[in-house]
Amino acid sequence: MRAIWKGSISFGLVNIPIALYPATRKEELKFRLLRAADHSPVNYKRVAEKDGEEVPWDQIVKGYEYEKGKFVVLNEKDFQRVDLEATQTVDIQDFVDIDEIDPMYFYKPYYLEPQKGGDKAYGLLREALADGKKVGIAKVVIKTRQYLASVKALKHALVLELMHFAAELSDAEKLRVPKKLEIGKREKEMAKALVDSMTSTWDPEKYHDDYREALMEVIEEKVESGGKEIEEKPKAKKESTKVIDLVAVLQESLAKSRGAKKKKSTPKRAAKHHAKKAA
């Protein structure tokens, strides 16, 4: 794995040399645009709006539109002048309890790896964060943008998780959502029972990208058929979602959930029963 950024974590007078690595990967299927007649790949061209001429990479610059149709051009030196030191430092400004932070603020994790001479300080920071259930709130510049970020302890590693600034989050108060409702005691108890019956331990391996897997099946079928059209399988009709009696719907959901849980917990007993029956 290749580091995307190298610098240091800084808090107080402590400085830890680190490298930044992606902690996630995209499992998206990649498609090419093709000409329908002969399946020739279609490439994108960088075309100037003014005359429709194609522009080579070495003639492209970055510009900011400060008025409609008026641009100011910025080069690499301009970006570096903004804050050269910050581009190499994860500058921790505060330590806060992790439970105080709304999960909405977090959005992209990266692994932090200590570089030469940084192992001991790295380990000390990791243990201090883990024991205190705290995160370091920092600012960091990656490429040409400054991010709010948190430094967290995760097992043996430190993780840098990029965060949204408060101004980047939309105000939920503007949504038309029910705030205070008169909820019956029976409805509330049934809803709680349904949640309890569906509660299990967190197992991330249990969840899969169903769309991607189904799409791969379609692709494999088309490859095997030489690109011919595949006959569409009939889709199961969805049950009506119109709620007439909320308690009745909750009772039905609870019965199904309990039935599914019972079925999962007794696979061996069922297998023995079928074997006995067959004998």
Q: What is the pLDDT along the chain (279 residues), one digit of tens a residue?
A: 788 889 888 888 888 999 988 888 777 778 888 888 888 888 888 899 889 899 998 999 999 898 888 888 888 888 777 665 556 888 899 999 999 999 999 999 999 999 999 999 999 999 999 999 999 999 988 876 789 999 999 999 999 999 999 988 888 777 787 777 777 888 888 888 888 888 888 887 887 877 788 788 888 887 888 777 777 777 767 665 555 566 677 777 778 777 776 776 655 554 454 444 444
pLDDT at 199: 86
pLDDT at 218: 81
pLDDT at 59: 92
Retrieve residue 259's tokens. Answer: 């039935």
pLDDT at 239: 63
Query: Over the chain, what HEC string results?
Result: CCCCEEEEEEECCEEEEEEEEECCCCCCCCCCCECCCCCCECCCCCECCCCCCECCHHHCCEEEEEECCEEEEECHHHHHHHCCHHHHEEEEEEEEEHHHCCHHHEEEEEEEEECCCCHHHHHHHHHHHHHHCEEEEEEEEECCEEEEEEEEEECCEEEEEEECCHHHCCCHHHCCCCCCCCCCHHHHHHHHHHHHHCCCCCCHHHCCCHHHHHHHHHHHHHHHCCCCCCCCCCCCCCCCCCCCCHHHHHHHHHHHHHHHHHHHHCHHHHHHHHHHHHC
pLDDT at 205: 85
Residue ranges of domains in the chain, CATH in brackets: 5-25+81-168 (2.40.290.10), 179-199+245-254 (no CATH)
Mention every residue, 6+ apart, whose C-beta is less than 8 A from residue 230.
Answer: 218, 221, 222
pLDDT at 277: 47
User: What's the pTM value of the predicted model, to 2 decimals?
Assistant: 0.67
